[in-house]
Amino acid sequence: MKILHLVHRSWPYHGGAERYVLEHALAGERWGHSSVICTTDAWDMSWLVSRSGSSIVRREDLYNGVEIKRFPVIHPPFQNILRATLRRLSRCGPDRYYYPNPFIPSLHRWLSVDRGFDFVHANAMPFMLYEGWRYSRKHGTGLASVPLPNVGEKYRRISPLYYFDGCQEDILRNSSFVVAQSSFEKKIYADMGLYPERILQLGCGIDPAEFVNADPESVMKRFGIEKPLVLSLTAHCRERGTEHILAACRNLWMKGYKFTLLLAGPVLPEVEEYFADTSESIGKFDDNIVLTDYVSNRDRIDLLAASDILLQPSRLDSFGIVLLEAWMSGKPVIGCWSGAMPDIISDGINGFLVSWGDTATLSNRIRILLDNPELGLSMGEKGRKSVLERWTWDKVTDKFYRRLSQCTTMGNSV
């Protein structure tokens, strides 16, 4: 089969959804399929809604046999007013046009023509799920929908939640199957009326081979890092718990603990504002904080090897691939009671779980791991075993393609 994969960003950018889609496209060849990834020209997420971010100039790439086609985001004048209008008046507008879904008319036009695809794999943002559904309906192909919604904690869902305001529920109910990253997410779809046999709880993975030749010493020297190292590796924003990380670490520094906090990855404006607003309390510990901005996959692996603790107290992640990466590096993790993290972290066994915003508990769990490095090593090793047993890309993608092989080309069977 010829499979169309839709996602908002792709290689060479390295991120969770981007890696998830790329690995599924690459695995298609093993199952006898060819793959094309259609995406935007965005590098920074901010490019989706403004010219303040960076974009990728190349319109096409070929990566290990996978064709990657990029369609330009346009930035019309008064786009927020336009977006608000289209949310009210356009078909599927409430979710298709909510911020930060971009305007990509060239992709819409390109998918209006039959491009010879037999199956569509639509991911992450409502505008991409809509385009996949539209192509599937128009040209009679199967459709796998992977919403990756940021729904928060099981008993504290993010509100307001716009993912399912417009046509998303219809799209999911009319997909050949829907991929959920967690048992929590799976229940949300079941509550929408999806048949259980149409929901595939899948998750994400890692490639163990990438972690064999990690070089922690060189990356520590380059970034000026001193041990012990507490690492947060993400796009830093409020919903990913960055402000809570800073507050928790400040509490420990004030008590005399000595360690480096490394915020690896882009720092979004709201966190920059937090730094400015808390300059008197956080600023005095500037020497303990290192910022890197975007890091390459190679640096990512080296930083994980150099770290002593990985923090991910986020309610914005559907899964959290970085947890698997930390475990593969033998490191303990502190996650959040959100998304798939309660499914993969056994609290107190291979890591800790904290509620989003609970800085006191977060600070306590960091302190426990700093005081008990042997406990951290034990947690990291248990996590590593679980990764090798369940969470490699080969295992995850094979599960996806076994499910896909059960679907007819019309996408109406289970």
Whether the CB-CB separation of 7 and 124 falls below 8 Å is answered with: yes
Residue 44: Cβ within 10 Å count: 17
Residue 98: Cβ within 10 Å count: 20
For the domain made up of 2-205+393-404, the CATH class stated in words is alpha beta
Q: In degrees rounded to 5, what are phi and psi of residue 323?
A: -65, -45
Whether the CB-CB separation of 185 and 149 falls below 8 Å is answered with: yes
Q: What is the pTM of this model?
A: 0.91
Name the nearest CA neighbour of 379 among 407, 413, 353, 412. 353
Residue 116 amino acid letter:
G
Strand partners, 231: 262, 310
Residue 34 amino acid letter:
S
Domain boundaries, the chain: 2-205+393-404, 208-390
Q: Which residues contact 245 (CB under 8 A, 6 or more apart)?
A: 232, 261, 263, 311, 313, 362
Residue 328 pLDDT: 97
Long-range contacts of 367-370 (CB under 8 A, 24+ apart): 367/252, 367/257, 369/308, 369/309, 369/332, 369/334, 370/228, 370/252, 370/257, 370/259, 370/308, 370/309
Length of the chain: 414
Name the nearest CA neighbour of 216 among 205, 225, 208. 225
Topology, domain 208-390: Rossmann fold (3.40.50)
Q: Residue written as tokens 């990855």?
A: 265
Whether the CB-CB separation of 213 and 194 falls below 8 Å is answered with: no
Residue 408 pLDDT: 56
Residue 256 amino acid letter:
G
Residue 414 pLDDT: 38
- Token pair belonging to 212: 């064999």
Residue 410 pLDDT: 40
**pLDDT string in tens for the chain (414-residue length):** 999 999 999 999 988 999 999 999 999 999 999 999 999 999 999 999 999 889 999 999 999 999 999 999 999 999 999 999 999 999 899 999 988 999 999 999 999 999 999 999 999 999 999 999 999 999 999 999 999 987 788 777 776 567 788 899 999 999 999 999 999 999 999 999 999 999 999 999 999 999 999 999 999 999 989 999 999 999 999 999 999 999 999 999 999 999 999 999 999 889 989 888 888 778 788 899 999 989 999 999 999 999 999 999 999 899 999 999 999 999 999 999 999 999 999 999 999 999 999 999 999 999 999 999 999 999 999 999 999 999 999 999 999 999 999 885 444 443
Residue 160 pLDDT: 54
Q: Which residues contact 114 (CB under 8 A, 6 or more apart)?
A: 138, 139
48 DSSP 8-state letter: G
List strand residue ranges (DSSP E) for 106-182, in order.
Answer: 119-123, 142-146, 152-153, 156-157, 177-180
Whether the CB-CB separation of 73 and 103 falls below 8 Å is answered with: yes
